[in-house]
């Protein structure tokens, strides 16, 4: 068992607090998901407008009037995506506040799903987005920031999960002859 007082003094600032960054990111993702579940497609009327316009070339109002069925489908997909974000955030909070905080190696590996997920979201958005829209899609900005933060926290906390093995003192564990 680890001596917690000795372990805490040996850990760097990032090794001690990386779990808090993941907890914070998880809370933000949970709130994003809750917001998407509540607002649905109408999120494209304001903050997410550049995303819709950059992909479809239309505003939310134009899309609703041109194709109400497509708008209804997008509304559903935004709400379902919000549910996915909400659950992802909750699961990530649990891992960050328990196993990652305690330094369990599996949790460090599991948290690499954060940058993988973010990279995939960014790539999918870049594939669909045509930069003729009115601005940068907010998920590109937040996703890039979250990607950088998650990779940095994982790299800076590496030693907590993979400590160097201390060489055993000669004779300390050898049986007596």
Write the CB contacts of 164 (distance below 8 Å, at least 6 apart in sequence).
Answer: none
3-state secondary structure (DSSP) of residue 137: coil
Question: 51, 33, 21: which is closest to 152 by C-alpha?
Answer: 21
For each of the chain's 177 residues, which pLDDT tens digit applies?
Answer: 454 554 555 888 889 999 999 999 999 999 999 999 999 999 999 888 888 988 888 999 999 999 999 999 999 999 999 999 999 999 999 999 999 999 999 999 999 999 999 999 999 998 988 876 677 888 889 999 999 999 999 999 999 999 887 666 665 555 555
Burial of 90 (0-12, 13-18, 19+ CB in 10 A): middle
Place of tokens 């939310």: 60
- Give the separation between CA 156 and CA 165, rounded to whole angstroms: 18
């Amino acid at each position: 068992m680890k001596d917690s007082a000795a372990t805490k003094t040996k850990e760097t600032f990032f090794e001690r607090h990386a779990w808090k960054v993941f907890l914070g990111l998880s809370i933000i993702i949970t709130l994003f998901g809750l917001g998407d579940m509540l607002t649905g497609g109408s999120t494209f009327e304001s903050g997410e407008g550049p995303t819709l316009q950059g992909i479809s070339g239309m505003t939310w109002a134009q899309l609703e009037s041109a194709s109400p069925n497509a708008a209804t489908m997008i509304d559903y997909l935004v709400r379902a995506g919000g549910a996915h974000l909400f659950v992802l955030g909750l699961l990530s909070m649990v891992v960050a506040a328990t196993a990652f905080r305690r330094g369990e190696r599996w949790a460090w590996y599991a948290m690499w799903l954060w940058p993988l997920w973010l990279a995939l979201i960014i790539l999918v958005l870049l594939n669909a987005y045509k930069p003729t829209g009115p601005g940068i899609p907010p998920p590109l900005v937040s996703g890039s920031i979250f990607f950088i933060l998650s990779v940095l926290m994982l790299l800076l906390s590496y030693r907590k999960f993979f400590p160097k093995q201390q060489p055993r003192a000669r004779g300390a564990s050898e049986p007596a002859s």
